[in-house]
Chain A
């Protein structure tokens, strides 16, 4: 079967990575809010070659009923990769990995949500990975948080997710698929930026405690950059309509003056 071969060098002696980034650069990120008509809230993220769509429904009635909690909303999350999202077909059935990611993404989002305002209801988050290139859990969290805000669900803060890691003795930010597969370590992090609380911290591979500290610092820095973009994306979505209407108002006033 076809297998991806590791490139000879993942990072050169000057710190240039396989996709031309420096060790401290994020991949280019595009964020869009409110892309789905039927969902209560939605968001789309492109981070490098990652393409992820998130839909949020709720607060709404819980089915099956026994999952309802008397004092707060139940939060359910499904992370799913489309069969065509990877270079070899992925079975559409939820894998062990996807079930785990669904759980950790839910736990990363939960602290940000005022769930106690909607007892006996559910908030459903659907994360659909359309194309994956490493770091999808972080990107999924980033987009899911935006979708929650778009659904009008009260949040303490937006959650931003990002990974750092170690590739050939370099500590690098925002690993792509190649670096994730053939690098030495991967450290995904999700952050509540205002209070600097971590809501997700995982690691695979080997890092010394100094390297870990450095990678964590870098990942947190990346989350902060992403958070600024998240805010910008929300602003853009909600100020666009206002601007159009205000322009119209100015135009119609100008017309009135001309007529007079």
Chain B
């Protein structure tokens, strides 16, 4: 039962990972007794299970995910929300307001209007129908302040870090609220726009350098460097200009 490649090695679609008694995990497939990669990514091994951590890819909803969506359409009983997935999500009024919905009294556009950004949770999704969202719950609902940045959904786990190490460090260093949607959208809201700039700068660096060693430490170094520069009277105009693209 040979494994042909080392852990964390880069593989391309169709590449042979192992032969023999293994289980095909994420982004791999099995043909006879061969395990092959189906996407570009890094190999991982977990007992008998082989998987590939994809480096790029679209967001596929799953129940319980926290997502950040944009209202793109309003129907009789709810909203159509773009959640950066191949499928448009539905958000029904009954999953938004606390009391029962009265079409004569409740005006949907007064709750969420077209273009509004919402923090929501996926409550139902299977492959035959689109995902259904809810905004009932703590920390969910309309986004009123802050900025939303988009990254590849495949790299969201890196922004969170092992047991939240990365995002906790970012929160600590910058004093910003950071809400990470599984769909590749991150809400950053801080006391000053400069703090937000700093978080966005860090997120861009994480996205570019995901899957490298000691990333959390390097990001902390970057933040402290920018902070000390700013305190030294050198206002970080250059960094803010760069992140506003």
Instruction: Let me know if A58 is at the binding interface, CB within 8 A.
Output: yes
Q: What bracket does the count of chain A residues touching chain B fall in?
A: 35 or more
Q: Which residue of A lies closest to B15 (CB)?
A: A231
Q: Do residues A158 and B13 form an inter-chain contact, with CB atoms below 8 A?
A: yes
Instruction: Tell whether B87 is near chain A: CB-to-CB under 8 Å.
Output: yes
Tell me if B212 and A120 are in contact (CB < 8 A): no
Point out the residues of chain A lying under 8 angstroms from B88, CB to CB. Answer: 61
A249-B214 CB under 8 A given contacts A154-B38, A158-B12, A194-B14 = yes
A149–B39 touching, CB < 8 Å: yes
Q: Are B213 and A249 in contact (CB under 8 A)?
A: yes
A205 within 8 A of B: no
Residues of A within 8 A of B215 (CB): 245
Question: Whole-angstrom distance between the alpha carbons of A112 and B12 in the complex?
Answer: 13
Are the C-beta atoms of B29 and A248 separated by less than 8 Å?
no
Q: A234-B12, A234-B40, A249-B213 are in contact. Are A154 and B27 (CB under 8 A)?
A: yes
Query: Which of A121, A157, A193, A246 touches B212 (beta carbons < 8 Å)?
Result: A246
Q: Which of B51-59, B104-112, B140-148 makes up part of the contact surface?
A: B51-59
Q: Known: A61-B88, A252-B221. Contact between A152 and B40, CB under 8 A? A: yes
CB-nearest residue of chain A to B56: A152
* Candidates A120, A155, A241; contact of B13 at CB < 8 Å: A155
Partner of A249, one of B10, B211, B212: B212
- State whether the Cβ of A84 lies closer than 8 Å to any Cβ in chain B: no
- What B residues does A121 contact at CB under 8 A? 86-87
Q: Is A59 an interface residue (CB 8 A)?
A: yes
Contact of B127 among A119, A155, A158 (CB under 8 A): A119
- Tell me whether A182 is interfacial, beta carbon within 8 Å: no
Choose among B14, B87, B214 the residue that contacts A156 (Cβ–Cβ < 8 A): B14
Query: A155 with B39: in contact, given A121-B86, A121-B87, A194-B14 (CB under 8 Å)?
Result: yes
A239 contacts B by Cβ under 8 Å: yes
A156-B86 contact in complex given A114-B38, A149-B40, A249-B213, C-beta closer than 8 Å: no
Chain A residues, Cβ within 8 Å of B14: 155-158, 192-194
Please tell me which one of the listed residues A118, A193, A194, A245 contacts residue B209 in the complex, with CB atoms under 8 A apart.
A245
B27-72 contacts to A (CB < 8 Å)? 27, 29, 36, 38-40, 54-58
* 1/0 contact string of B199-215 vs chain A (CB within 8 Å): 00000000011011111
Contacts of A157 in B (CB 8 A): 13-14
- Contact with A154, one of B39, B213, B221 (Cβ below 8 angstroms): B39
Compute how far the CA of A156 lies from the CA of B15 in the bound complex, rounded to whole angstroms. 9
Residue of A with least CB distance to B13: A155
Determine if A30 is an interface residue (Cβ-Cβ < 8 Å): no
Q: Which residues of A contact B39 (CB under 8 A)?
A: 149, 152-155
CB proximity to A under 8 Å, residues B209-232? 209, 211-215, 218, 221
Q: Which of B1-33 contact A (CB under 8 A)?
A: 10, 12-16, 27, 29
Quick one: which of B55-99 are within 8 Å of A by CB? Answer: 55-58, 86-88
Residues of A within 8 A of B10 (CB): 235, 238-239, 242
Q: A121 vs B85: C-alpha distance in the bound complex, in angstroms?
A: 10
Given that A61-B86, A121-B87 are contacting pairs, would A149 and B13 also be in contact in the complex, using a CB cutoff of 8 Å?
yes
Please report the C-alpha to C-alpha distance between residue A252 and residue B149 in the assembled complex, in whole angstroms: 28
* Interface membership of B160, Cβ < 8 A: no
Chain B positions within 8 Å of A179 at CB level: none
Contact present for B38 and A238 (CB under 8 Å): no
Would you list which residues of chain A between 166 and 208 have a CB under 8 Å from chain B?
192-194
Q: Is the CB of A249 within 8 A of B218?
A: yes
Check: B154 CB closer than 8 A to any chain A CB.
Answer: yes
Nearest Cβ on chain B to A192's Cβ, whole angstroms:
8
With A149-B12, A157-B13, A193-B14 given, can you name 16 additional A-B contacts, CB distance below 8 Å?
A59-B58, A59-B86, A61-B86, A70-B128, A112-B13, A114-B38, A118-B86, A119-B127, A121-B86, A151-B56, A153-B39, A155-B14, A235-B12, A238-B40, A238-B55, A249-B213
User: What residues make up the interface of B, taking CB atoms closer than 8 Å to A?
Assistant: 10, 12-16, 27, 29, 36, 38-40, 54-58, 86-88, 127-128, 154, 208-209, 211-215, 218, 221
Q: List 5 A-B contacts (CB under 8 A).
A: A41-B56, A112-B13, A153-B39, A234-B40, A241-B208
